[in-house]
């Protein structure tokens, strides 16, 4: 199945998809994810990529049905968290990790032509200036999205209108979750937009050096969250010290439910074998 296969949106019914806890991830690593995004025909109807991490899964587990729909409608869902990768391994599952920041960097470094239009929703003027200077970009189209998009449908619609007026092969949506997924869905729902939207949070800030990303050895040790907490304690303490640890309780409930389902299935299979004996 290639990147422009129209049936790719139905991947959840196939082997390329894995359900882990309360999320659905595509079974592809960073290289294949990059290739699918880069090779998709830019004139096809707009689709978007989401990059769930621990914070996203905790929110989804609280029963926020509206957010669950946003993720379900994504064209591509890749795991942004090495902590989730570890938890999956402890569960006997394999979840590929393709951090949004790595995908963003790879697109700018290997795929985006300096003279092609690039659309950005969110960020700051300083971010756009630094990004353009770093990669020699000549046609960055920027929408200064306001705060509070979650409760401002009119502002979300303005973001979608911007995307329609500024067609680009790649639209980077950097307004935090779930606002960025809301914007992506609004763009898709218009029906007159093309290209791929990437819901990638603070990726451009990492890329431009405005926010320092953890060194590679910290990333490999799955401690990037600790680096971010130390860098921005006032803003991130609740996410990492209060909300984040809830993932362990969610995991425990998920394992218990999975064990129950497997026991029911095993009993049904046993009874079937006895009936056929």
Dump the DSSP string for 167-209. Answer: --SEEEEES-TTHHHHHHHHHHHHS--BSEEEE-TTHHHHHHT
Distance CA(21)–CA(81), nearest Å, equals: 14
**What pLDDT, on the 0 to 100 scale, is given for residue 9?**
42
Give residue-wise pLDDT tens across range 227-260. 888 888 898 889 889 999 999 999 999 999 888 8
Q: Give Cα 248 to chain centroid, integer Å.
A: 21
**What pLDDT, on the 0 to 100 scale, is given for residue 3?**
38
List, for the chain, all residue ranges whose pLDDT scores fall below the cut of 50. Answer: 1-14
CB 216, CB 66: distance < 8 Å: no
For 10-15, which contacts have Cβ atoms below 8 Å and span 24 or more sequence positions? Answer: 12/72
Both tokens assigned to 29: 């690593």
Q: Which residues contact 142 (CB under 8 A, 6 or more apart)?
A: 119, 120, 121, 123, 125, 128
**What pLDDT, on the 0 to 100 scale, is given for residue 64?**
66
Q: Containing H/E element for 120?
A: strand 118-122
**What pLDDT, on the 0 to 100 scale, is given for residue 223?**
87
**What pLDDT, on the 0 to 100 scale, is given for residue 65?**
61
Q: Which residues contact 185 (CB under 8 A, 6 or more apart)?
A: 48, 70, 73
Give which of 28, 15, 54 is closest to 241, Cα–Cα: 54
Q: Give Cα 73 to chain centroid, integer Å.
A: 12
Task: Give the angle 214-219-224 at the CA atoms, nearest 5°.
Answer: 60
**What pLDDT, on the 0 to 100 scale, is given for residue 15?**
62
Q: What is the DSSP string of 205-259?
A: HHHHTSSPPPPHHHHHTT-HHHHHHHHSHHHHHHIIIIITTHHHHHHHHHHHHHH
b/e per residue 104-127 (b: at least 16 CB within 10 A): bbbbbeeebeeeebbbbbbbeeeb
CB 8, CB 26: distance < 8 Å: no
**What pLDDT, on the 0 to 100 scale, is given for residue 276?**
83
From its phi and psi, is residue 145 left (phi > 0), alpha (psi between -120 and 50) or beta?
Answer: beta
**What pLDDT, on the 0 to 100 scale, is given for residue 226?**
86
Judged by DSSP in three states, 62 sits in coil
DSSP 79: B
Neighbouring-strand partners of residue 120: 142, 172
What are the helix and strand counts (H, E) for the chain? 13, 8
């Amino acid at each position: 199945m290639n990147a422009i296969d129209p049936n790719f949106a139905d991947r959840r019914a196939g082997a390329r998809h894995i359900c882990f806890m309360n999320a659905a991830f595509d079974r592809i690593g960073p290289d294949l994810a990059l290739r699918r995004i880069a090779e998709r025909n830019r004139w096809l109807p707009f689709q978007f990529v989401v990059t769930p991490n621990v914070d996203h899964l905790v929110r989804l587990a609280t029963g926020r049905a509206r957010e669950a729909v946003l993720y379900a409608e994504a064209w591509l869902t890749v795991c942004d968290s090495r902590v989730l990768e570890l938890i999956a391994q402890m569960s006997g599952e394999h979840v590929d990790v393709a951090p949004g920041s790595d995908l963003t960097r790879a697109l700018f470094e290997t795929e985006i032509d300096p003279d092609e239009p690039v659309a950005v929703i969110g960020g700051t003027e300083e971010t756009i200036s630094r990004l353009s200077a770093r990669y020699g970009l000549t046609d960055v189209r920027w929408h200064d999205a306001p705060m509070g998009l979650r409760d401002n449908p009119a502002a979300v619609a303005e973001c979608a209108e911007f995307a329609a007026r500024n067609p680009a092969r790649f639209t980077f949506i950097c307004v935090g979750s779930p606002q960025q997924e809301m914007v992506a869905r609004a763009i898709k729902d218009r029906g007159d937009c093309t290209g791929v939207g990437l819901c990638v949070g603070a990726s451009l800030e990492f890329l431009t050096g405005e926010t320092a990303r953890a060194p590679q050895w910290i990333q490999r040790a799955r401690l990037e969250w600790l680096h971010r907490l130390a860098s921005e304690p006032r803003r991130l303490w609740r996410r990492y010290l209060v909300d984040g640890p809830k993932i362990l309780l969610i995991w425990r409930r998920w394992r218990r439910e999975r064990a129950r389902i497997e026991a029911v299935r095993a009993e049904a299979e046993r009874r079937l074998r006895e009936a056929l004996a």
